[in-house]
Amino acid sequence: MKKLLHLLTIILAVSQVQACKGDNDMNIPRDKNNALSTGRQVSTTDTMKLKITIGDKKATAILYDNPATKDFIAQLPLTVKMEDFAGKEKIFYPPQKLSTVERKIVSDPETGDINVYAPWGNIAVFYGSYSGSRDLIRIGRITDGIDAFNVPGTLNNVMFELIK
């Protein structure tokens, strides 16, 4: 009886580990730079593009298809002030909170990633490397012009708009 109980305990523990694993790297969508994505990237024919204007500098980004991105798009065009955070990211708080239902572990954010930090509700553009977090939701990726963010201090009058 003890052996049977021990065997059942092991089977239960193994099944719990498998259930908690969630998506492995093979099942998580990746962008063109092989970065992990929290949402599936829409096909290239349907890819939404974002234009970001910072003074006389411009950046472009692709957006991922997930609930947080849809909430962000609904608020565009948007002009914000972006504060520097930890010398690695520029952040701002959108006027309305974004959905946080699709939280997954984001591997180490890479330069150019656009994420929502779920606990605070801010949007972050990473211009430096940073450690991963269970609380990041990747909504897009800068494809051109990331150098516009890699400057000290606050960025005023940053405009986000969809490219038609």
Task: Compute the chain's Rg from CA coordinates.
Answer: 19
**Residue 146 domain flag:** yes
Q: Is 143 inside any structural domain? A: yes
- Is residue 106 in some structural domain? yes
DSSP state of 1: -
Instruction: Give the SS3 label for residue 158.
Output: strand
7 in a structural domain: no
Is there a domain that residue 9 lies in? no
Q: What range defines the domain where residue 132 resides?
A: 25-163
pTM of the model: 0.71
CATH number at residue 34: 2.40.100.20
Q: What is the largest CA-CA distance in the chain?
A: 76
**What pLDDT, on the 0 to 100 scale, is given for residue 135?**
87
Q: Count up the domains in the chain and report the number.
A: 1
Cα separation values, 11 from 7, 15, 20, 128, Å: 6, 6, 14, 43
- In this structure, what token pair is assigned to residue 69? 């991105």
Per-residue tens of pLDDT for the chain, all 164 residues? 666 554 445 554 444 433 333 333 323 343 443 333 334 343 333 679 999 999 999 999 999 999 999 999 999 999 999 999 999 999 999 999 999 987 765 667 789 999 999 999 999 999 987 777 888 899 999 999 999 999 999 999 999 999 97
Whether residue 51 is contained in a domain is answered as yes
- Is residue 10 one of the residues assigned to a domain? no
Is 15 part of any domain?
no
